[in-house]
Amino acid sequence: MFSREIRKVVPDDLDLGSGNILEAVAIHFTNKIVLQLRFNGELDTCYDIISKGLPTEGLGNTPLGKVVLDSGGDSEDEDFEDLSPIEDGLSNFQVATRLGNSNDMKLPIVCTQIAEMYQKTILSSNFDGLRDLAPSRDFVISLSAKMWKKDTSETDFALLVFILQTIKEMYTS
């Protein structure tokens, strides 16, 4: 078992009010990574994120989870002949709501982005032998949905970037 934690003040420019605190705690087990993102000490939503499909190694030129655009042979589509495969990160995971509003479409996407960042940055970088301790790509993510309940969604992307940077900083500091 391996764990990390960090506590940061949420910037005022994210329009969540002043003096708010984001606490991130990650516990790595051999079969899952449990991540808690507390907003002012609160958690009210939980998601199970399970990697689906086969590993991409050894599958030839088209890894699983990638879409190849085909020009169809029309001369008008010559511009598209040299396109490389496009990765669809959202299709790599199955997200199940364990606690909270299952009709909320924003939070599963946030959780998928967190899982993608773990795969591409944290687990692949092998921080402190992390890859050997937690080979799984499955997650349980608990968070406060209050961070995303604003009337406007103008700062949602900035909030997501702040959360991803906080998680990454948790492993690098």
Confirm whether pTM is higher than 0.85. no
pLDDT, residue 128, reads: 60
* pLDDT tens track for 115-156: 999 888 888 776 665 555 545 679 999 999 999 877 667 789
What was the pLDDT predicted at 65?
45
Please report, for the chain, the start and end positions of each structural domain, with discontinuous segments joined by +: 2-55+92-172
pLDDT value for 125: 74
Structure tokens at 18: 């002043």
Which pLDDT score is estimated for 23?
A: 97
Residues of the chain scoring pLDDT < 70: 53-90, 126-136, 151-152
Task: Please state which CATH class domain 2-55+92-172 belongs to.
Answer: alpha beta
| Per-residue burial over 4-42, b = 16 or more CB atoms within 10 Å of its CB, e = otherwise | bebebebeeebebeeebebbbbbbbeeebbebbbbbeee
Q: How far apart are the first and last CA of the chain?
A: 19
